[in-house]
Structure 1
Amino acid sequence: MSHDPDALAQRSRRWQMALGAEDDTAPLSKQDLQISSALDALYGEESGKPRKGGFGSSAPKVSKWLGDIREYFPSPVVQVIQKDAFQKLGLKQMMLQPEFLEGLEADVHLVADLISLRSVMPEKTIDTAREVVARVVAQLMEHLERKTAEAIRGSIDRSKRSFNPRFNDIDWSRTIQANLRHYQHKHKTIVPEKLIGFQRRQRRLVDLDEVTLCVDQSGSMATSVVYSSIFAAVMASLPVVKTRLICFDTSIIDLTEYLADPVKVLFGVQLGGGTDKAVAYYQDKIEAPSKSHLILITDLCEGGDAPALIARIAELKGEGVNVITLLALSDDGRPYYDPTLAAKVASLGVPVFACTPDQFLDLMATALRREDVLNWAANEDIKTIRAEAGAPGDTL
């Protein structure tokens, strides 16, 4: 038996977390207490002590607990815990109750929870879950569709003028200057006789910019997966860009052909964690690098070949692909990521940061105009990764 102090302390920590024992001489950290609490909610009674707080019929408690176990445990362990939860805590019965599902808050966290649970759901429950996911997606689509279209739609050629412009293409400054003589003093306004606007370019399919969202499906990226899938579906409906969606964990799933059905897309993701192979897959699909934009959405906790990933990103940059790395696409705050690998990616001149869904719209508009993304991020007060090493697990 080892008498190493660190080994003994680690053994003591594991027993405290397993048994829920309190030891003032070796107190658990805040994160260890949260892990212990998450386990206690499910396994507390088996350890011979009363559970500190079950779920009852509380939707918020269930949602928080599901999020906690995804954060604290690797994917294979999460699958075991979720299966136990369905059997021991009656989550299956709760999910089958329409009134319970109606009481759940309709947001991306709910969608992520239902998607992550689907592998242990019976078919009838999956049907119910699909209905809830469809409702949430419809609400998010309604909110994001108009704003996305406004930010990204149509490539306007500002070098040419039109005297019969669409309303959104009117150049108000030139129109006002050209119609000053028509000012109506009585009404204190200008009644323009001639409208001046920007002429839209008629772009062929082969001339369109191509945007690829390459999304990490690891558990920590759950809400980013949901938002990315919905944005991809919205962008795919716009005639001004070609959109591709690639999701990856231990395998690669190209969901581009399903973008017309966001619910089907979400039920096609795995929520499991190798970025290198996904980037290699994307690299083989590129037709026109100078018109291609790769939005790599990942925590960069690379389980594959990190040096190969860096080499591939460098190759893409050298070919003219506009590469941007998002450590998170969510409203959740500071992302968990590998700062060492993030700094190496940043050293290639690739912008690396996290952003919210609302910021993502402006980001895409900036990227499609090939403007300085780092300058845009600075104006948005977004902290970006610098090309220097850090410690694993840092947060922005």
Structure 2
Amino acid sequence: MSTDFQQERMRRWRLVLGGDSDATGQKLSGDDVGIDAALAALYAGAGAGGSGSRKGGLGGSAPNVARWLGDIRTYFPSTVVQVMQADAVDRLNLTRLLLEPEMLEAVEPDINLVGTLLSLNRVMPESTKETARQVVAKVVADLERRIAQQTRAAVTGALNRATRINRPKHRDIDWDRTIRANLAHYQPEYRTVIPQRLIGYGRRSTAVHRDVVLCIDQSGSMAASVVYSSVFAAVLASMRALRTSMVVFDTAVVDLTDKLADPVEVLFGTQLGGGTDINRAIAYSQGLISRPKDSIFVLISDLYEGGVRDEMLRRVAAMTAAGVQVIVLLALSDEGAPAYDHQNAAALAAMGVPAFACTPDAFPELMAAAIERRDLRSVIERLQPSG
């Protein structure tokens, strides 16, 4: 093992362990001193074996916090900065300081920060709201760039395939379905099919082909899902072939459909936290569905029901029986498998409505499958991470 490699290894261990008595014998210099101080301020007492070798802390001082936020952006990449900010909110109780505009201007905007700000919406002073809105708007714009094009492409393709025509132009012929529909007309002597009926893809029109209702649980644990759902709802609402509605709920139900032109307005219309009444939210959503066989209902919830469970399940059963395509997402986020009510998830699965977590990258394909009324079970199996 080379000397340089050994020294670099000891340097990294020194930064991980912190303190001067860590037995690495490694002295820090240059930027490493600042990196160590930034780590110590956040992870004080988190040394090896919980020995408390790190000394530090920000002491709840706004100037110290602002300086620290600047330091971590200097020393670490943005992905690490976002993790450290989230840890700071949890470990150092910095939530109160986020209500100060100066603090918000110093932080690295990310989806977790947006969730924290939305949870503070009711107590946020007017002097902070404009800065908070700018932070949220930046994150929303980043998310729209990530998902808008993929969503529009997947949904538009699905709508065109779902709206088939029987006298297509050559460029619109769906050859796979045309051949399948005309196998009875196979001519052995010519070794070909003579199609009697052509099947084509429908062309774009101004008609509304599908109604989509997004029903989103805004309890505190669903913060990231609320953010992603709001952006997706805004993208879907911009497509004229869809009629998109969005409601959010805790123990009350709020219809935010009229705000879908601006996802930032949607997010500030939410109130993260509180109880959960899924049955009441589904009852309201049923009133928005006038064409069951052309409707997609997406419930995004961890399924911890505080309302009437049996009635909730009966409502879902009634919707599916009427022809509504029902999708239940336990989460719409990058955070992995969430905590959820396994009993309610099993009851829904028994009705043929599987409940599962979905990443934002997989959501457009899921919606495309629902629009085409494909069997969602095979799509879900393919979209779920292995292992």
How far off its partner does 1:317 sit?
Answer: 1.2
Cα pair 2:345 2:354 within 8 Å, conserved:
no
Query: Which of 142, 147, 153 is matched with 2:145 structurally?
Result: 142
Query: Which of 334, 355, 358 is matched with 1:355 structurally?
Result: 358
How far off its partner does 1:163 sit?
Answer: 4.3
Seen in structure 2, the aligned counterparts of structure 1 residues 115 and 51 have a Cα distance that, compared at 3 Å, is farther
Matched, 1:307 2:310: yes
CA distance in 2, matches of 1:228, 1:254: 14
Matches within 5 A, 1:305-384: 305-381=308-384
Could you tell me which runs of 5 or more consecutive residues in structure 2 were left unpaired when the two chains were aligned.
1-41, 46-53, 70-81, 178-198
1:137 corresponds to which letter in structure 2? V
Alignment match, 2:119: 116
CA distance in 1, matches of 2:148, 2:168: 27
Cα pair 2:370 2:376 within 8 Å, conserved:
yes
Matches within 5 A, 1:156-171: 156=161, 157-160=163-166, 162-163=168-169
Percent identity reads 44
Alignment match, 1:64: 87
How far off its partner does 1:152 sit?
Answer: 0.3
How far off its partner does 1:359 sit?
Answer: 0.4
Seen in structure 2, the aligned counterparts of structure 1 residues 290 and 210 have a Cα distance that, compared at 3 Å, is same
CA distance in 1, matches of 2:144, 2:232: 8
| 1:155 alignment partner, SS class | helix
Matched, 1:100 2:106: yes
CA distance in 1, matches of 2:356, 2:363: 11
TM-score for both structures, normalised by structure 2:
0.68
How far off its partner does 1:173 sit?
Answer: 9.6
2:263 corresponds to which letter in structure 1? P
| 1:354 alignment partner, SS class | strand
1:100 corresponds to which letter in structure 2? A
1:334 corresponds to which letter in structure 2? A
CA distance in 2, matches of 1:352, 1:137: 26
CA distance in 2, matches of 1:349, 1:130: 41
How far off its partner does 1:63 sit?
Answer: 2.5
1:123 corresponds to which letter in structure 2? E
Cα pair 1:161 1:199 within 8 Å, conserved:
no
| 1:293 alignment partner, SS class | strand
CA distance in 1, matches of 2:305, 2:176: 50
Could you tell me which runs of 5 or more consecutive residues in structure 1 were left unpaired when the two chains were aligned.
1-37, 42-49, 70-80, 175-195, 384-395
1:92 corresponds to which letter in structure 2? L
1:109 corresponds to which letter in structure 2? N
CA distance in 2, matches of 1:247, 1:341: 20
Deviations 1:296-354 (A, max 9, x none): 00000111111111111111111111111100000001111010111111111112101
| 2:224 alignment partner, SS class | helix
Matched, 1:238 2:239: yes
Seen in structure 2, the aligned counterparts of structure 1 residues 343 and 380 have a Cα distance that, compared at 3 Å, is same
Seen in structure 2, the aligned counterparts of structure 1 residues 212 and 51 have a Cα distance that, compared at 3 Å, is farther
| 1:242 alignment partner, SS class | strand
Alignment match, 1:264: 265
Seen in structure 2, the aligned counterparts of structure 1 residues 372 and 318 have a Cα distance that, compared at 3 Å, is same
Seen in structure 2, the aligned counterparts of structure 1 residues 227 and 123 have a Cα distance that, compared at 3 Å, is same
Deviations 1:70-108 (A, max 9, x none): xxxxxxxxxxx88xx52xxx4433x4246403xx1x332
Cα pair 1:155 1:240 within 8 Å, conserved:
no
How far off its partner does 1:66 sit?
Answer: 4.2
Deviations 1:262-287 (A, max 9, x none): 11100000012310000001112221
Aligned-residue CA RMSD (Å): 3.1
TM-score for both structures, normalised by structure 1:
0.66
Alignment match, 1:285: 288
CA distance in 2, matches of 1:67, 1:313: 37
Residue correspondences, number: 292
| 1:96 alignment partner, SS class | helix
Matched, 1:211 2:212: yes
How far off its partner does 1:172 sit?
Answer: 9.7
CA distance in 1, matches of 2:91, 2:166: 55
| 1:149 alignment partner, SS class | helix
